[in-house]
């Protein structure tokens, strides 16, 4: 079967995974789905996507299994647990971990999968459900170049660009560094707008000025759209950002690498959001 017609299995049909899977189905790839919650399968009724009774059954019908569950424990359970992906995957299959997890989780799974002739790549995504719907997610893929290239036609159904970041685990590190910098930028944007208010500058006007100047950032736009505070971001993403900043801080510490000012600023953002790590 040519790469453009790979059989794809998809696990994790949440707010981001659901649109990703719909794009894969819409691109014409034979697709099999598995979900703990039957409700997440309802949007796929009538699409031609098959439904498996277990991750193992899904893997047996797939050349590429995409995993987009919430955390490390969830990834490990659906891949290596009882009736997991590795229990059904055939030699030559590939598992793509789209979840944002510790790179060591991907490396350990790759060691287990390798004994079965199954490849693993880490391919976390950024952009959210709307970007997935539009086919504009960013994929950061770590793994063997030929494996990433084999998966690229499938990823192209929901992503642009797909960036190969290096060896297995590097995609996760790239995603965590992105979220670390985003967190840091939230702190500097929120405090800059707050300083402007204290100095008598209209907050909305200042936000427009900076967004059109050299201090512009995605984080500034998010803070400005939230009324100049981090309250809305804290409610929706504070816990996830705390997880990701904690992960990259731990990875840096284990490697003996000094994060510097970016971690200080990210910690400041977490404190402002009430999500100190």
Positions marked catalytic: 175
Identify the H or E element spanning 73: helix 72-80
Residue closest to 160 by CA, chosen among 172, 151, 152: 152
Coil, strand, or helix at residue 31? strand
């Amino acid at each position: 079967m040519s790469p453009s017609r790979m059989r794809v299995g998809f696990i994790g049909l949440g707010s981001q995974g659901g649109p990703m899977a719909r794009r894969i189905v819409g691109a014409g790839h034979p697709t099999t789905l598995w979900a703990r919650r039957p409700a997440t399968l309802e949007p796929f009724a009538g699409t031609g996507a098959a439904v498996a009774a277990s991750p193992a059954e899904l893997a047996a019908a797939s050349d590429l299994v995409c995993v987009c569950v919430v955390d490390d424990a969830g990834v490990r359970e659906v891949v290596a647990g009882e009736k997991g992906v590795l229990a059904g995957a055939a030699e030559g299959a590939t598992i793509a971990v789209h979840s944002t997890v510790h790179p060591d989780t991907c490396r350990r799974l790759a060691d287990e999968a390798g004994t079965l002739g199954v490849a693993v790549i880490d391919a976390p995504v950024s952009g959210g459900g709307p970007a997935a719907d539009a086919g504009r997610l960013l994929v950061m893929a770590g793994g063997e170049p030929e494996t990433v290239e084999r998966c690229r036609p499938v990823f192209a159904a929901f992503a642009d660009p797909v960036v190969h970041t290096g060896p297995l685990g590097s995609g996760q590190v790239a995603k965590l560094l992105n979220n670390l910098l985003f967190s840091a930028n939230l702190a500097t944007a929120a405090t800059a707008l707050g300083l402007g208010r204290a100095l008598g500058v209209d907050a909305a006007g200042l936000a427009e000025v900076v967004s059109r100047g050299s201090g512009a950032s995605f984080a500034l736009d998010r803070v400005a759209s939230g009324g100049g505070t981090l309250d809305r971001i804290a409610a929706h993403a504070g816990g996830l950002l705390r997880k990701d900043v904690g992960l990259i801080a731990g990875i840096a510490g284990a490697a003996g690498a000094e994060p510097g000012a970016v971690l200080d600023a990210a910690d400041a953002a977490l404190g402002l959001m009430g999500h100190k790590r």
